[in-house]
Amino acid sequence: MTFIIEATKDDHHTADIRFSAVVAVIWARKLAADGFAVSIRAPGGRQYSADQFNLLLMSRKAALPAAVRAAVRHSRQD
């Protein structure tokens, strides 16, 4: 699956592609922490804003290994 992360800050715009929802959210949260306005477009076309990233992970959360869940929690603290 392909997740497209779009981020904007001042006159700078970036788009990154990740193949995992977890990795996309971790990267997007790092960009948001750096002051970017960030959104993630999921494979189905739905766009998630920063305050909706948890929704992107909810349906997949039960299937995630404990180490990945810990990495997601850690990225929220940064």
Mean pLDDT by 10-residue block, N- to C-terminus, for the chain (78 residues)?
94 94 93 96 92 82 58 64
- Comparing C-alpha atoms, which of 24, 78, 18 is closest to residue 52? 24
pTM, rounded to two decimals: 0.73
How far apart are the C-alpha atoms of 29 and 72, rounded to whole Å?
A: 10
Residue 29 · residue 56 · CB < 8 Å: no
Whole-number pLDDT of residue 44: 86
User: What does the alpha-carbon distance between residue 61 and residue 22 come to, in Å, rounded to a whole number?
Assistant: 9
